[in-house]
Amino acid sequence: MENICMRLILIRHAQSVSNVTNIHELDPILTMTGHEQALQLVPFFAKMQTREIWCSTMLRSILTVEPWSKIHPNYSVRVMPELMETYGYFRHKQFDGYEPGPPTTEEQIKKLIPQAEIFPYLEVMGCEKKEDILNRVFVVWDRIRMQSLTKEQITIVSHGNFLGYLINVLLCLARGVPLDHLDQGFVEMANGAVSIFDVFADQVTPVCLNCPVRALQ
């Protein structure tokens, strides 16, 4: 089977409460602006003919995908713990710190997105070093490469730090730069913004970086 050029669409979750208050919460919900951004993505997904979304397990990403999923209950939403934010694997605060565990339960996810296919959690999550985050990024990149052999498009909704590292990996591949240059030119995406790449086997071509969704509609 010949490889096809697959379009990879990366979206940072819509604005959350923590993005406005700068107060750390384990799993914040969206602001009113965030809900508006999630709704703005629906016509964008329609224009891109999106049929499958890979999504973080965290509530702000789930809520970003929810409006689209409600309109298209037969389309695929694959919920992957690997896409969560740095330090995302904590359930709630304890007296001596945070208890490791999934912040959003499978029941909560299914209530919001009934068609969600939820992937199992990795054995090691919680207090992560850079190497741990990159390990998750490379797991996701391997999945992207495999899917690029048969699919025309994958859309990923995730978080600022994770997407920043993933985009750096993609840019290194696009430029033929060794992956030990990952710290150069870190791309920080705005809430609800879009980055697009074309993937052909191991060849990566940037199409746009950190674009407002309205500019692409």
Asked whether residue 1 is domain-assigned, the answer is no
Asked whether residue 23 is domain-assigned, the answer is yes
What is the structure's pLDDT at 166? 93
Closest CA to 132 of 202, 174, 81: 81
* Separation of alpha carbons 170 and 150, rounded Å: 19
* Residue range(s) defining the domain that contains residue 125: 6-216
* Separation of alpha carbons 54 and 154, rounded Å: 7
Provide the number of structural domains found in the chain: 1
What is the structure's pLDDT at 43? 95
What is the structure's pLDDT at 2? 54
Amino acid making up residue 172: C
Q: Provide the CATH number for the domain around residue 13.
A: 3.40.50.1240
* Separation of alpha carbons 215 and 110, rounded Å: 32
What is the structure's pLDDT at 128? 65
Asked whether residue 60 is domain-assigned, the answer is yes
Q: Give the tokens for residue 150.
A: 């048969």
Q: Block means of pLDDT (10 residues each) for the chain, length 217 residues?
A: 78 94 83 96 95 94 96 95 78 55 83 94 63 86 88 94 92 83 71 94 89 84
Asked whether residue 200 is domain-assigned, the answer is yes
Asked whether residue 58 is domain-assigned, the answer is yes
DSSP notation for 115-169: TEEEPPPPSS-SS--HHHHHHHHHHHHHHHHHHTTT-SEEEEEE-HHHHHHHHHH
Q: Give the tokens for residue 43.
A: 């016509």
